[in-house]
Homo-oligomer: A and B are copies of this chain.
Amino acid sequence: MALNEPLNRKLRMALVGGGAGSFIGRVHSIAACLDNRAVLTAGALSSNPERAKSSAPDYGIADSRAYGSYEAMLDGESKLPEDERIDFVSIATPNHTHFEVARAAVEAGFNVVCDKPMTFDLAQAESLLETVQNSDVVFAVSHNYTGYPLVRQAREMILSGELGEINAIRSQYIQGWLRTQLEAEDQKQAAWRTDPAKSGAAGAFGDIATHAYNLGRYMTGVLPDSVSCHLKAFVEGRKLDDYGTAVIRYENGALGTVTASQISHGRENDLEIEIDGTKGSLRWRQENPNELIYRQNGKAHQIYTRDPNAEYMTGSGAGACRLPSGHPEAFFEAFANVYTAAFDAMAKRAAGEKIDQRDTIYPNVYDGVEGMYFIQQCVNSSADNAAWLPLKHAAARK
């Protein structure tokens, strides 16, 4: 296989954010370049122009492509010859800046891979959706957990009817790192995530419940109907929720729960989902991602390991593997799978093919809108004594 068929060359990546102290910027660059299908070429690594430039060598970005701002970057790159110019922009900045960067990149004709939550609020998300729809760019949102091979396996099993009708979706995302008021200690990650001006209307629910909710949507395709939500800020002085539970009614009658915590002692990044169908049930846990448990009454419990050669593996599950079974794959590789799926689309676009912006294996701008709607309705419900609010957005993924 040649690289990025039919384009047959590496894609050129630009990174916005990711300067010193950033965690997610490094993740984006490693994930995007893992398979040698992309090369990090340009960057606007910080909102501080000096730091933006001084961080470039860490990423192997040449001085000439290290910009002091995203505006300068988009402008500079647009002026370069087509065969030097970047192909896509990865946005790894705090939430409140996603919108302006993403919109500008799309308007400049660049493909985008944007961190989640996609924007600061729903209005921005809907506006961005329109911008994307009016363009022909590839737009991916880093709901990275959808990139795990066994998540795609589950999705394909469910969409093909193997589990029958879906009755229940239980997901939870449990962390403990915000158990104390870290934001008061100037911890950078904690500071912006708990600041309503940077993070948006929700804390834990914006940061992690969106992943848990998205995972259920991605795996099942079942459309939501309404939501009732409780948010709590258990840590004194905290301005945004650090715990919460949402109950979700789905259109087909299924019942769902999404629980997120950032105050559970010793819990690390425990995203877990259980799905009950009329013909079978599934369970998957992010911290042990190479196992998917499949159960059917009367039969032995089956552990599907991530095995690209197993008969039970579906095409999209097997296709997301890089290693044989027993050689564990993990977070980076899953994140990379979001990128490679987007690369497939970018290569098609670059080769002049028409791409579908909505029905994609990677999470896209529609998922981004759904995520923002989920956050907004959860926050509103919680503020109104857990009132039932609609949850189905017109721009739902499916």
Contacts and interface: CB of A to CB of B under 8 A. Distances in A.
Prevailing SS type, chain A contact patch: loop
A281 interface: yes
Given A259-B257, A264-B276, A328 B326 contact: no
Given A243-B167, A385-B388, A57 B3 contact: yes
Contact of A30 (B34, B59, B234, B312): B34
Nearest to A304: B300
A32 to B, nearest CB: 11
Interface stretch (A93-101, A130-138, A168-176): A168-176
B300 A312 contact: yes
A186 to B, nearest CB: 16
B36 A34 contact: no
Interface stretch (A110-118, A215-223, A289-297, A355-363): A289-297
A266 B274 CA distance: 12
A46 interface: no
Nearest to A279: B265
Contact of A34 (B34, B253, B265): B34
Q: Could you say how many copies of this chain the assembly holds? A: 4
Interface stretch (A69-77, A81-89, A329-337, A340-348): A329-337
Given A257-B259, A265-B295, A281-B176, A287 B326 contact: yes
Contacts of A172: 170
Nearest to A290: B287
A48 B110 CA distance: 41
Contacts of A190: none
A175 B307 CA distance: 13
Interface string A307-343: 1011110000000001111111111110000000000
Interface in A260-303: 261, 263-270, 274, 276-281, 286-290, 294-303
Contacts of A159: none
B297 A177 contact: yes
A327 to B, nearest CB: 4
A49 interface: no
A245 interface: yes
B274 A326 contact: no
A265 B257 contact: no
A278 B296 CA distance: 27
Contact of A3 (B58, B174, B323): B58
A339 to B, nearest CB: 14
B10 A268 contact: no
Q: Which 9 A-B pairs have the closest CB atoms?
A: A266-B295, A268-B326, A269-B326, A328-B330, A330-B330, A300-B302, A301-B303, A265-B281, A268-B325
Given A228-B228, A300-B310, A386-B388, 11 more contacts: A2-B58, A175-B326, A179-B297, A228-B247, A261-B276, A265-B279, A265-B280, A266-B297, A298-B311, A327-B330, A329-B330
21 contacts: A26-B322, A167-B232, A168-B261, A174-B274, A176-B297, A243-B276, A261-B276, A264-B276, A265-B276, A265-B281, A266-B280, A268-B324, A268-B327, A269-B324, A270-B326, A299-B310, A299-B311, A300-B305, A328-B330, A332-B332, A386-B388
Interface of A: 1-3, 8, 10, 23, 26-27, 29-30, 33-36, 40, 57-60, 167-168, 170, 172, 174-177, 179-180, 228, 230, 232, 234, 243-245, 247, 249, 253, 255, 257, 259, 261, 263-270, 274, 276-281, 286-290, 294-305, 307, 309-312, 322-333, 385-386, 388
